[in-house]
Structure 1
Amino acid sequence: MYLVHARLRTVPPAEVPGDLRQAVRAGLRPADRVEHLAVHPQSAEDFTLGFFLLSDSLEEAERRAAHVCRRLLTARALPDARLLGVGVPLVPLSLPEHLRS
């Protein structure tokens, strides 16, 4: 399973709707292989969708997340927005001792 973040910005700048998580969940399909979804508003216009995807590789997970976002944008399950980027969040190499095990 991979955590993939998709960063989006509403166009024109408009507030991110409060029911965004429910709208995205309603637009997901079993073939998307999304096990969990998180929505992180970054500002009034920017938001990140966190997809926990079942996948055989990192590259496949990133492709699938981008495909899901494009489909949701086309289907209007997301507010009118621009996909800024898709990728696995990086973890710092030096973690505090209590997080290493």
Structure 2
Amino acid sequence: MYLVHARLRTVPPVEVPDDLREAARAGLSPRDRVEHLAVHPQSAEHFTLGFYLLSDSLQEAERHAEAVCRRLLGARALPAARLLDVGVPLMPLSLLEHRSH
């Protein structure tokens, strides 16, 4: 299982709706293989979707999260938004160094 973040910005800039998580989850289907979906508002018009996906590889998980996100945008399960980037969040090096001591 992989956690993949998709960062988005509403277009035109509008406030992220309060029911975004429920609306996005309602747009998912079993074939999406999304085990959990988290929504993280970043600012009034920026938000991140956190997809916990079943996948065979990191690259496949990232491609799959992007495809699901684009489908949700096309189906209007999400507010009108531009997909800024998709990727696995990286752990800061300082945390890795701290864990090794």
The structural deviation recorded for 1:31 is 1.0
Structure-2 separation of matches of 1:94 and 1:82:
32
In the alignment, the residues of structure 2 paired with residue 85 and residue 93 of structure 1 have an alpha-carbon distance, to the nearest angstrom, of: 21
Report the identity percentage.
80
SS of the equivalent of 1:31 reads helix
Matches of 1:80 and 1:94 in 2, distance apart?
37
TM-score, length-normalised on structure 2? Answer: 0.93
Q: Which residue of 1 aligns with 2:86?
A: 86
Is the partner of 1:22 in helix, strand or coil?
Answer: helix
Deviation at 1:92, TM superposition (A): 1.8
Shift, 1:93, TM fit: 2.7
SS of the equivalent of 2:18 reads: coil
Give structure 2 stretches of 5+ with no counterpart.
none
CA distance in 2, matches of 1:70, 1:26: 15
**Residue by residue, what CA displacement relative to the aligned partner does 1:16-60 show, whole Å, maximum 9, x if unpaired?**
000000001000011111011110000000000000001000001
Aligned to 2:56: 56
Q: How many residues align?
A: 100
Structure 1 spans left out of the alignment, 5+ residues: none
Q: CA RMSD, aligned part only? A: 1.5
Say whether residues 1:26 and 2:26 are aligned partners. yes
